[in-house]
Amino acid sequence: MQTDRRGLTLDGPLAVGTDGTQDAHRAVRWAASEARSRGRPLSIVHATRTGSGHPRLTARGVHQAKDRAVEVLDEAADLARETAPGITLSTTACPYGTSACLLGEAAHDGTVVVGTRGHGGFLALLVGSDALRVAARAHVPVVVVPGRERSRPAEVVLVAARDERDREPVRLAARSRPAEVVLVAARDERDREPVRLAADLALRRGAALHVFSAWIFLENVGSMATMFGDPADLAAAEAAEASRIVAELRTDRPGLRVVHDVVRAASAAAVLVAATADADAVVIGSRRRSSPVGAPLGHVTHAVLHHAHCPVLLTPLTDRG
């Protein structure tokens, strides 16, 4: 699999939004850990909206908003330093709207990190227009960190040990399972870049990569059933493009543990959300509708954003359909 140097990257700096809520704190912690992993700087941003020309915003209100920004940013900075000591850190009180502040801070090679909910600032993401605007306009990766804490039980590996001769089996057993699992949704060639980014993320974290392909049987059976005598043949045809991407990935990154699952289901969104219960991060291509009519993001993206059990990394794609 060839790497497009002009494409998206997960090697750049990070910009995380905060409004002082617990959801914001989770996003800040995730961003700080990721910044340390990358060895890149983290910018913590709070949107005051004081420069938007709101007719009801008085001079006193502007002053209070700026004072609040100092408190929120100081608290977030302390949390980031506690989570990832030694990272390069900056804070910004941005006077504009959410998407303008975050996307401007991330520039062309950064990653935007946000939480799921807040009280009107960056983190009103899953229910407000700000979140959709960020995801729909971003030309860089966007990570949405869920508001609820989730602890996934560690896998237990049993190994027999009696004396020094068993030191090597014990060492191998301790390394038998990667510390994390990165899940990526892959369906066709348009998902090549999300798969590449997920592989980079997994390698840096020492994680396994789980490539997930959902075959929507009810969606295709009417138009394609006559072409195949066995549903298994239909599933194989549907998974062929994703399988080629996975094969290239295994060749180009031999040190990466890759698992590819092809699942037949009535709803890609439902099975993908369920799969996030066993993942530490999920990467999906955020398909955008070229038509101005309707929601700017696809229904699978919306479902995963609302219901995923782990942080969601969205990579911008354009829907060619």
Q: Is the pLDDT of residue 15 over 70?
A: yes
Backbone φ and ψ of 53, nearest 5°: 75, 35
Q: How many domains does the chain have?
A: 2
Residue 31 structural domain:
14-54+64-145
Do 221 and 292 sit in the same domain of this protein? yes
Split at pLDDT 50, 70, 90, the class of 135 is confident
User: What is the end-to-end Cα distance of the chain in Å, rounded?
Assistant: 25
Of the residues 96, 128, 145, the one at which a domain ends = 145
The DSSP bridge pattern shows strands 312-318 and 281-288 to be: parallel
Q: What is the pLDDT of residue 52?
A: 64
As a whole number of angstroms, the distance between CA 198 and CA 247 comes to 15
Q: Is the pLDDT of residue 313 over 90?
A: yes
CA-to-CA dists, residue 112 to 35, 154, 191, 282, angstroms: 12, 29, 20, 15
Do 79 and 207 sit in the same domain of this protein? no
Q: What is the pLDDT of residue 111?
A: 95
Q: Is the pLDDT of residue 317 over 80?
A: no
Of the residues 88, 122, 145, the one at which a domain ends = 145
Do 191 and 246 sit in the same domain of this protein? yes
In a domain, 1, yes or no: no
Split at pLDDT 50, 70, 90, the class of 14 is very high
Specify the higher pLDDT residue, 219 or 135. Answer: 135
Q: Calculate mean pLDDT across residues 193-207.
A: 93
- C-beta of residue 28 within 8 angstroms of C-beta of residue 79: yes
Split at pLDDT 50, 70, 90, the class of 154 is very low
Do 99 and 213 sit in the same domain of this protein? no
Do 188 and 308 sit in the same domain of this protein? yes
In a domain, 275, yes or no: yes
CATH number, domain containing residue 245: 3.40.50.12370
Which of 1-5, 32-36, 55-59, 211-215 is the most confident on average?
Answer: 32-36
Closest CA to 289 of 273, 306, 301, 305: 301
Do 252 and 313 sit in the same domain of this protein? yes
Do 185 and 245 sit in the same domain of this protein? yes
Q: Is the pLDDT of residue 271 over 70?
A: yes
Split at pLDDT 50, 70, 90, the class of 202 is very high
In a domain, 27, yes or no: yes
Do 216 and 107 sit in the same domain of this protein? no
Q: Calculate mean pLDDT across residues 106-130.
A: 67
CATH number, domain containing residue 26: 3.40.50.620
Do 127 and 201 sit in the same domain of this protein? no
Q: Is the dihedral of CA 214, 218, 222, 225 positive or negative?
A: positive
Do 22 and 87 sit in the same domain of this protein? yes
Split at pLDDT 50, 70, 90, the class of 152 is low
Q: What is the pLDDT of residue 117?
A: 65
Instruction: Mean pLDDT check: name the lowest of 19-28, 37-46, 230-239.
Output: 230-239
In a domain, 33, yes or no: yes
Instruction: Give me the percent of the chain exceeding a pLDDT of 90.
Output: 40
Mean residue pLDDT of the chain comes to 79
Do 108 and 227 sit in the same domain of this protein? no
Q: Calculate mean pLDDT across residues 262-281.
A: 88
In a domain, 102, yes or no: yes
Of the residues 99, 128, 145, the one at which a domain ends = 145
In a domain, 267, yes or no: yes
Closest CA to 118 of 22, 223, 237: 22
Do 133 and 249 sit in the same domain of this protein? no
Specify the higher pLDDT residue, 162 or 80. Answer: 80
pLDDT in tens, 31-73: 999 999 999 999 999 998 888 666 577 778 788 888 999 999 9
Which of 57-66, 119-128, 207-216 is the most confident on average?
Answer: 207-216
Q: Calculate mean pLDDT across residues 287-302.
A: 65
Q: Calculate mean pLDDT across residues 222-234.
A: 53
Split at pLDDT 50, 70, 90, the class of 168 is low
Backbone φ and ψ of 140, nearest 5°: -130, 165
Q: Which tokens sit at 69?
A: 């920004």
Q: Is the pLDDT of residue 198 over 80?
A: yes
